[in-house]
Structures are given as structure tokens and as C-alpha cells.
């Protein structure tokens, strides 16, 4: 048998084995954790003191993990910074870090805790996974020594990474991901020299993982879906809500729908910093979500998901490109949304059809309100440009939103409550990208599961009168190719080919009685 025939035979055989043992559905859990924070984050403490704090948080996570496992969960995601908090200096974070090996070492820390030095946090997570028969996703800190022969080695002689780890139901380390896109203030961590694309297979689907701010960029987020064909994204995050378009449950559910994957988002619960909003999202609709700015308690969510969700194909330009934009005279006005200058049109009637354009993007809206209230103003807005606050990335956005007050200058300001209900809406745009994320957010920061969908020609439209008053209906587009050049850019496709070669080689070695 030739090599190509053997690989084909092996691929078919392995597929059949996976298929026979695979699950069509699984139960996912995410835990929104009210993290216990250290007293000081700029002054270093001893490792013993750091471990005391981390064990306090691990005790809380343990309760959630045990509860999820008892309810049948196959996997649980916990938040970014959930074991020790945030706002550390580089020196102050060091006592909290452990040396996390490459998962290829085939290690179960619970069975062999000292194989790679003293790693009590990894041992604890491994034992929790093994004892409860559940996959555990956690965010920890990784440290890697380096020396002067490495021109990129930091002056203190080590790399420090914001790191996600995954332990399988046997307690084995199966994934390690170093965060690529660090947020402002994460100076305690280094960016990996090459973007990491991390996946792993289970009997209930193929998983990919990235962290918080990564979601706004192409690598590794889009690459995981487009090139590595994952079914489910695991997303530890410490997300601070920014209205009107970047509230956690709003944007994360939209990303799941836009990319056609399951999305498990676990956020920190810290209302004073506007940190809340976790969820279990399928491509067609949110399955469970939590947003709570009133209490200080954590929250465990569980829901059943399809292991291999259906990924519909959408042409985001098709419908809108066939509509002729009518001149609106001098009715347009400018407004600021998260420091971006939008072009707006006020919705002056109870129903209507409006078009507003900026640069290459024209947004079209058909709508009908239940009533045109005299105390609320809504507007249709468009933005086509480079966003430059708290990150730099190119956006194309079409949005229907409620203005904060009757003053048109407040259109784009953060607003959390509304009273106007919509009988119907249909929103579309002439996007220059196929990476568009559909958002619908109701009053009191609530989602609208099952009340809207996206058509194959690129319309975001209501299926029935909405159950709550509208804050925003938005198509949030990302033009990654127009982003500023990144210093950390790399050839991700070359990495993809390397990973695929390693996987094929591993399959051949495992299945063939005489490894080649």
C-alpha cells in the first residue's frame, strides 16, 4: 500500500472510530466568578502568600466545577484572571506564575505532580478534572526562562504569559494557549513571538481557545474557525462592558452567530468595574446568559449544545447592494460612539425606510415601532473607519440605537434602558467584509433569543414583535485587512500546515501496527 493510500485509509478509519464514539450533543458550563483580589498588585509577595490567595479562588471554582459535573456537564470554562486578579506589575505577578509545559509531554499533574517542578495550581486543576470526570478550562500565568542568546528575551530573563489551560476528564493537560492580543495595562505579560492556534478534539466536537481582547482580531480567533474548522470556542475573559456595541453578552453572542460556532464565554463578576456578562451561545441563538450589575455573587450556567453546529453561509452585501440609496437632504447629523464619529439619521415616524451612508458603507433600515413615543429618540447610524481607542482596528458598522436623551448629540452615548418596542425591523449594509456580527440588545441589557435571524442575503431581521424595548440592533463588521500592521504578525497558514502534518503523522503512528 502506498503512502497516500495508507493516509487515506487511516483518515477514514480514524473518522469512523471518532464517529462511532462521538456525541451529537454535550452539556456545556460556564462560571461567572466573583474573584477574590489581592490587597496589593504592585508590590511582590512571597509565593506562599500568592498561593494562599489562589487557593481561596480555587476553592470557589471547585464548588462550581463539582456542581457542573453533578449536573452532567462535559466541560466548564472559568474566567480570565479568575485565580489571582489583575492590575499587577511585572514583578508582582511573578509569584503567581507556574511553568506550564507543552501538552505534547502527555502529563497528568494529579498523577505526577512533581514531573515539571512545583506546580500546585496545575495539580489542583488536574485533580478536579479527574475526580469529577469533566474538562476544565482555566486561566493561569505561565513563566518561561530565557537568556541573552535570545534577542527578544526580557531584561529580567524570563517570558511571562497570560495563559489558558485545558485539562481533560482524566486530568491530562490537553491544551495551553498564550494570549496574543494583550489589552492596555497588561504590561506584566509578554506577547508570544508567534500567534498560537490551539485546538483539541473530544468525543463531543473540536474545540479552539482564545482570550478576551483576542476576539476583536483576526489571529487567532478567525483563523481557528476558517482554517482549523473548530465547532466550539472556549473564551475565558475579564470583559468590561462598553455600550452601545461592546457589552459582553451582546458582542459574544453576535460573534457566535457571525462565525457559525458555539461560544462558551466565562467572565469575571466585578460590577464596580462593569465586569459581568457570561454565556453559552449557539450559532442560531443564545442558550444561556447572565448579566448582573446588582449583586456580588458568582453564577454557574449550563446548557446543551450540538457538538457539530450548522454553519450557514451569508453574503453580507447581497441584499443591500441592490437597494438604491435615496438622498436625505440635510437631515443627517454626526454623533460619537465610543470615540468614533458616526453619521446618523433620526427615525421621525412610527414606521419607515431609511438609508444612511459613510465612505463605502450604506446602511438600510426598514422598521415599524409599536408606537412613536414623544420621550425617546432613535437613530440609524453608520461608521466606516479606523477605531483608535483602547486598541486600533478597522470597523464597518450599521446600527439602529436609542439616543440617551431627546438631544441628538447624545446619540451614541451609553444607555441601559428603553421603552420603545419594535413590531419589526430589517437591517442590512453594503459591507466590504464577510466578517459581520449581528447584535440585538434589549432594555436592561437583555438578549432576544429566537426573536431574530440573519438571511443568506445579509439581512438582520425580526421574526416577531420583540419581547422587550430596543437598545440597539447592529451589524458590527470587521475589516481585518485594513488594521494597522502588527509587530507580532506571522504566517499563520504555514503554522496550520505544520499542525496538520503533525496530526496526520500522529494518527499514522497510533493506527499503523508498524509505524512509518
Active site residues: 80, 179, 212
Q: What sign does the dihedral 313-318-319-320 (CA atoms) show? A: positive
Q: What angle do CA 219, 222, 228 make, to 5 degrees?
A: 100
Q: What is the DSSP string of 322-383?
A: GSPPPP-TT--EEEEETTEEEEEEE--SSEEEEEEEETTEEEEEEEEES---TT--EEEEEE
CB-CB contact of 243 with 417 (8 Å): no
- Cα-based distances in Å from 445 to 203, 298, 312, 316, 439: 35, 18, 27, 26, 12
Nearest to 31 by CA among 399, 288, 308, 366: 288
Q: How far apart are CA 92 and CA 43, in angstroms?
A: 5
Q: How far apart are CA 198 and CA 490, in angstroms?
A: 15
Q: What sign does the dihedral 32-34-36-41 (CA atoms) show? A: positive
Sequence-ordered list of residues with C-beta below 8 angstroms from that of 243, at least 6 positions apart, any chain = 414, 415, 416, 445, 471
The alpha carbon torsion through 320, 325, 330, 334 (nearest 10 deg) reads 20
Q: How many CB atoms lie within 10 A of CB 463?
A: 11
CB-CB contact of 289 with 278 (8 Å): yes
For the chain, the 3-state helix, strand and coil shares in percent, each to the nearest 5, are 25, 30, 45
Q: How far apart are CA 357 and CA 365, in angstroms?
A: 12
Q: Cα 436 to the chain's mean position, in Å?
A: 14
Nearest to 271 by CA among 287, 254, 295: 295
Residue 393 three-state SS: strand
Q: How far apart are CA 364 and CA 399, in angstroms?
A: 10
Q: What is the DSSP letter of 425?
A: E
Reading the block at residue 364, the C-alpha cell is: 438600510
Amino acid at each position: 500500500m502506498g503512502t497516500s493510500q495508507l493516509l487515506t485509509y487511516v483518515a477514514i478509519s480514524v473518522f469512523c472510530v471518532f464517529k462511532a464514539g462521538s456525541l451529537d450533543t454535550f452539556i456545556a458550563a460556564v462560571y461567572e466568578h466573583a474573584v477574590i483580589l489581592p490587597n496589593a498588585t504592585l508590590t511582590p509577595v512571597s509565593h506562599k502568600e500568592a498561593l494562599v490567595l489562589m487557593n481561596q479562588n480555587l476553592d470557589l471554582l471547585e464548588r462550581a466545577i463539582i456542581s457542573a459535573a453533578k449536573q452532567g456537564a462535559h466541560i466548564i470554562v472559568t474566567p480570565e484572571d479568575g485565580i489571582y486578579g489583575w492590575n499587577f506589575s511585572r514583578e508582582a505577578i511573578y509569584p503567581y506564575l507556574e511553568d506550564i509545559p507543552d501538552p505534547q509531554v502527555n502529563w497528568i499533574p494529579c498523577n505526577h505532580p512533581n514531573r515539571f517542578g512545583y506546580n500546585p495550581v496545575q495539580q489542583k486543576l488536574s485533580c478536579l478534572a479527574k475526580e469529577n470526570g469533566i474538562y476544565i478550562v482555566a486561566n493561569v500565568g505561565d513563566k518561561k526562562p530565557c537568556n541573552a542568546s535570545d534577542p527578544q528575551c526580557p531584561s529580567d530573563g524570563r517570558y511571562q504569559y497570560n495563559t489558558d489551560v485545558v485539562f481533560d476528564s482524566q486530568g491530562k493537560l490537553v491544551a495551553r494557549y498564550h494570549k496574543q492580543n494583550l489589552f492596555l495595562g497588561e504590561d506584566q505579560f509578554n506577547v508570544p513571538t508567534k500567534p498560537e492556534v490551539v485546538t483539541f478534539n473530544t468525543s463531543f466536537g473540536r474545540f479552539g481557545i482564545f482570550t478576551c481582547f483576542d476576539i476583536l482580531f483576526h489571529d487567532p480567533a478567525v483563523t481557528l474557525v476558517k482554517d482549523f474548522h473548530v465547532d466550539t470556542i472556549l473564551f475565558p475573559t475579564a470583559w468590561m462592558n462598553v455600550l452601545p456595541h461592546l457589552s459582553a453578552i451582546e458582542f459574544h453572542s453576535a460573534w457566535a452567530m457571525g462565525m457559525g460556532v458555539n461560544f462558551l464565554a466565562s467572565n469575571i463578576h466585578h460590577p464596580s468595574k462593569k465586569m459581568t456578562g457570561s454565556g453559552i451561545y449557539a450559532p442560531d441563538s443564545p442558550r444561556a446568559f447572565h448579566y448582573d450589575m446588582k449583586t456580588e455573587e458568582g453564577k454557574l450556567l449550563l446548557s446543551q449544545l450540538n457538538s457539530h453546529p450548522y454553519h450557514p453561509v451569508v453574503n453580507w452585501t447581497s441584499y443591500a447592494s441592490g437597494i438604491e440609496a435615496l438622498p436625505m437632504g440635510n437631515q443627517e447629523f454626526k454623533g460619537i460612539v465610543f470615540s468614533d464619529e458616526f453619521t446618523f439619521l433620526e427615525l421621525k415616524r412610527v414606521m419607515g425606510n431609511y438609508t444612511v451612508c459613510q465612505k463605502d458603507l450604506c446602511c438600510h433600515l426598514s422598521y415599524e415601532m409599536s408606537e412613536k413615543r414623544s420621550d425617546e429618540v432613535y437613530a440609524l447610524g453608520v461608521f466606516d473607519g479606523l477605531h483608535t481607542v483602547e486598541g486600533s482596528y478597522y470597523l464597518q458598522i450599521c446600527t439602529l440605537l436609542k439616543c440617551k436623551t431627546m438631544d441628538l448629540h447624545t446619540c451614541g452615548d451609553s444607555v441601559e434602558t428603553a421603552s420603545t418596542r419594535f413590531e419589526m425591523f430589517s437591517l442590512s449594509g453594503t459591507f466590504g467584509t464577510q466578517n459581520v456580527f449581528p447584535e440585538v440588545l434589549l432594555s436592561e441589557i437583555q438578549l432576544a433569543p429566537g426573536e431574530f435571524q440573519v438571511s443568506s442575503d445579509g439581512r438582520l431581521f425580526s421574526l416577531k414583535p420583540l419581547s422587550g424595548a430596543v437598545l440597539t440592533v447592529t451589524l458590527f463588521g470587521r475589516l481585518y485587512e485594513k488594521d494597522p500592521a502588527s509587530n507580532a504578525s506571522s504566517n499563520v497558514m504555514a503554522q496550520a500546515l505544520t499542525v496538520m502534518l503533525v496530526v496526520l503523522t500522529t494518527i499514522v503512528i497510533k493506527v499503523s501496527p508498524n509505524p512509518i
